């Protein structure tokens, strides 16, 4: 109960900071909305899809996965700013759980991602996207776990590096191949065999396939259950590592 209460209190503070600057939503949605409106309509011919529904069922899940990866990966910059102004230092004297200090911040990032995901999904509906509500909820759960994993890793790396000049290139270097090998823009069924073989070592590859299966209404696909197990296990490991790093700093 104490952990839940502490997590809620930390999350509440960070939600209030977001609500004081509501323009974040416009900036956060600018790029994905542009891709949904201006890029996705071309995919029907490019992918030789029979309908726009099929094209959007391929593209939108990949786009949401990109948002989960990048949104989580760059979350560390907010934590770095708090380190600079002394907010983390003041947390040393509070009785709040160290796990809650991390989870509360992560909860804000996850909620922001899900709000964006809902808006992107709604925007794609007039273009033909159709997805069963149950499958959509499972897809959002996969997204939440992906976001938690990315955020936790970002916090741990940020606390280890603590340098903006080094952090940004490090994130770009890691996230770009991860996203490409996940097939987020185009399915890797279009890729040569050697590239698919490499991609199978990337957990985001399975998550992307699971998202596409769910958006296609195939909740029983093997990729869905493999991805669910992977994202839950990896998110737990990432949180454990992040909390250990966080605890060494805030004790």
Model pLDDT for residues 78-97, shown as the tens digit of each residue: 888 777 777 766 766 666 67
Q: Which of 50-54, 92-96, 121-125, 209-213 has the highest mean pLDDT?
A: 209-213
| Widest CA span in the chain | 61
Q: What percent of the chain has pLDDT over 90?
A: 25
Determine the Cα–Cα distance for residues 185 and 32; give it in Å rounded to an integer. 12
Stated pTM of the model:
0.87
Q: Once rounded to an integer, what is the mean pLDDT over residues 63-71?
A: 90
Burial 110-132 (b: 16+ CB within 10 A, else e): bbbbbebbebbbebbeebbbebe
Cα 236 vs. chain centroid, distance in angstroms?
15
Q: For residue range 11-50, what is the model confidence (pLDDT) as tens digits? A: 777 667 666 766 766 777 777 878 787 777 777 776 666 6
> If you average pLDDT over every residue of the chain, what do you get?
83
Angle at 116 between CA 112 and CA 117, to 5 degrees: 115
Length, in residues, of the chain: 251
Higher pLDDT pick, 53 / 91:
53
- In the chain, what are the domain boundaries? 2-249
Is 18:24 a contact under the CB 8 Å cutoff?
yes
> Which residues are within 8 A (CB) of 61 and not within 5 positions of it... i.e. 6 or more apart?
139, 208, 211, 212, 214, 215
Determine the Cα–Cα distance for residues 93 and 91; give it in Å rounded to an integer.
5
What is the C-alpha R_g of the chain? Answer: 19
**Residue 18: what pLDDT?**
67
What confidence tier does 237 reach under pLDDT thresholds 50, 70, 90? very high
Give the burial string for 74-83 (b: 16+ CB within 10 Å, else e): bbbebbbeee
CA distance 42 to 172: 27
* Close Cβ partners of 15 (under 8 Å, ≥ 6 residues apart): 108, 111
The first and second tokens of residue 32, run together, are 């994905």
d(CA 146, CA 193): 26
């Amino acid at each position: 109960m104490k952990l839940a209460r502490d997590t809620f209190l930390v999350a509440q503070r960070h939600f209030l900071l977001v609500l004081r600057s509501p323009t974040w939503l416009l900036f956060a949605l600018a790029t994905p909305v542009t891709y949904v409106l201006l890029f996705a309509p071309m995919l029907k011919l490019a992918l030789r899809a029979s309908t726009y529904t099929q094209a959007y069922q391929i593209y939108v899940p990949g786009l949401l996965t990109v948002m989960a990866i990048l949104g989580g990966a760059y979350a560390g910059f907010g934590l770095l700013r708090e380190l600079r102004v002394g907010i983390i230092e003041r947390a040393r004297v509070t009785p709040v759980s160290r796990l809650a200090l991390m989870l509360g911040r992560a909860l804000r990032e996850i909620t922001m991602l899900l709000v964006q995901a809902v808006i992107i999904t709604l925007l794609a509906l007039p273009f033909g996207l159709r997805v069963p509500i149950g499958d959509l909820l499972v897809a959002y759960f996969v997204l939440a776990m992906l976001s938690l994993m990315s955020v936790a890793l970002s916090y741990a790396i940020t606390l280890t590096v603590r340098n903006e000049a080094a952090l940004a290139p490090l994130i770009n270097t890691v996230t770009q191949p991860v996203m490409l090998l996940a097939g987020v823009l185009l399915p890797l069924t279009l890729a040569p065999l050697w590239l698919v073989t490499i991609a199978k070592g990337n957990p985001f590859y399975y998550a992307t396939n699971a998202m596409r299966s769910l958006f296609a209404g195939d909740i029983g696909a093997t990729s869905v259950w493999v991805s669910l197990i992977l994202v839950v296990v990896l998110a737990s490991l990432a949180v454990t590592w992040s909390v250990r790093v966080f605890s060494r700093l805030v004790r």
